[in-house]
């Protein structure tokens, strides 16, 4: 069993998200960094969509009451198992009653923790992801609190294994959005000519940005589907990058869409961070998805070989 001693700023259960219910107003939710989630599961030979813990900021403590292999991925929040420092991108073994603690870091914001075999959870709308606003998924639809317990099957020790994780960037690749014409400017002019700062009122729903030159306007559009990665431009000119917990429809002009492969970088951005946007083509966007898939396949093959030769 995994017992939450201190949840820190936000700790919640996420998988690859809730799909197929957007027409009913149900958000996607899911891990902000789907790559980190899949690597965490690969390291333990779990199915790729197994639910994991998403730890935000850190300042958290967990206790493994029974033995398990676990994997830690995503940002480096200075995790320790008792006194031993851990490196993200690796799997480790915990004996009963060892304590996993997270400090925090100015460089990273979110870490992911998976256990071998996954946690025992009940799905809501075909997903284990916690939808905190709607109040379902995860455990009781809430972020985890001190005293919460997550059940898993205990298992025997595997040797430690890991690999370098793909790096995080602050240069985000985008595709043009449909409503720039109504603002008489291009995506390039609206987003790609300046640095943007992450505002403090950002969360899993969306990241608000501020910049030195804002294009204010009075254009509104008929509400239409928005997705994680859609960049909206409200009348005040400060762009909002919608993220996993975003609503399903929106009425602000959509000026760009972050390529799917780059959404993971938003998992590590905190208030005050500076980011920039660069335009790419749909062909480049597909290529990046394939590169990520290739990385995961390579890791799977390498781990299979390693685990076989060890047994």
Partner 1 sequence: MTQEQTYLLGEQAVVLDLNCARLDNEQQNRLFALHRHLQKQAGYTDIVVGKTSLTLVLQDPTQGTKWLEALLSLWHALSAEDFQPNTHKIPVIYGGEAGPDLAPLAEQLNLSQQDIVELHSSPTYQVKFLGFLPGFAYLGSVPEQLQVARLSSPRTHVPAGSVAIAEDLSAIYPSASPGGWRLLGNSITRLFDANAQSPSLFQPGDNVKFVPQKEGLC
Q: Are 304 and 223 in contact (CB under 8 A)?
A: no
Give 160 or 249: the residue with its C-beta nearer to partner 1. 249
CA-to-CA distance for 178 and 189, rounded, in angstroms?
A: 14
Give 111 or 261: the residue with its C-beta nearer to partner 1. 261
Closest separation between CB of residue 45 and partner 1, Å? 25
Give 216 or 220: the residue with its C-beta nearer to partner 1. 220
Selection from 200, 196, 197, 179 nearest residue 250 by Cα: 179
Tell me whether strands 196-198 and 230-232 are parallel, antiparallel or unpaired.
unpaired
Q: At what angle are helices 34-42 and 282-310 packed, to 10 degrees?
A: 20
- Site residues, partner 1 (CB under 8 A): 19-27, 124-125, 131, 133-137, 141, 175, 177-178, 222-225, 227, 229-230, 247-249, 254, 257-260, 282, 285-286, 289
Tell me whether strands 161-162 and 84-85 are parallel, antiparallel or unpaired.
unpaired
Closest separation between CB of residue 48 and partner 1, Å? 15
> Strand, helix or coil at 291?
helix
Closest separation between CB of residue 182 and partner 1, Å? 11
Give 67 or 134: the residue with its C-beta nearer to partner 1. 134
Selection from 251, 272, 263, 255 nearest residue 206 by Cα: 263
Closest separation between CB of residue 153 and partner 1, Å? 25
Closest separation between CB of residue 140 and partner 1, Å? 11
Give 27 or 98: the residue with its C-beta nearer to partner 1. 27
CA-to-CA distance for 246 and 244, rounded, in angstroms?
A: 6
């Amino acid at each position: 069993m995994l017992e939450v001693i201190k949840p820190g700023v936000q700790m919640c259960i996420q998988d690859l998200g809730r799909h197929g219910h957007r027409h009913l107003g149900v958000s996607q939710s899911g891990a902000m960094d789907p790559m980190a989630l899949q690597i965490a599961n690969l390291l333990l030979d779990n199915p790729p969509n197994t639910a994991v813990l998403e730890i935000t900021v850190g300042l958290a403590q967990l206790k493994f009451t029974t033995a398990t292999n676990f994997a830690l991925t995503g940002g480096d929040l200075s995790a320790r198992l008792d006194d031993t420092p851990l490196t993200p991108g690796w799997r480790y073994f915990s004996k009963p009653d060892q304590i996993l603690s997270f400090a925090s870091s100015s460089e990273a914001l979110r870490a992911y923790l998976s256990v071998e075999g996954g946690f025992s959870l009940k799905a809501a709308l075909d997903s284990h992801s916690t939808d905190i606003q709607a109040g379902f998924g995860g455990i009781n639809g809430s972020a985890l609190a001190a005293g919460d317990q997550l059940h898993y099957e205990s298992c025997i020790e595997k040797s430690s294994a890991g690999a370098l994780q793909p790096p995080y960037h602050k240069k985000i690749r985008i595709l043009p959005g449909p409503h720039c014409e109504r603002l008489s400017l291009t995506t390039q002019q609206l987003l790609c000519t300046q640095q943007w700062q992450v505002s403090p009122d950002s969360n899993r729903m969306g990241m608000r940005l501020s910049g030195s030159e804002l294009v204010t306007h009075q254009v509104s559009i008929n509400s239409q589907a928005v997705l994680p990665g859609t960049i909206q431009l409200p009348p005040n000119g400060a762009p909002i990058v919608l993220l996993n917990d975003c609503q399903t429809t929106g009425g602000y002009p959509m000026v760009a869409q972050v390529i799917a492969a780059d959404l993971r970088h938003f998992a590590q951005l905190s208030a005050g961070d500076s980011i920039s946007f660069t335009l790419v083509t749909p062909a480049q966007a597909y290529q990046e998805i394939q590169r990520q898939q290739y990385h995961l396949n390579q890791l799977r093959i390498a781990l299979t070989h390693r685990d076989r030769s060890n047994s």
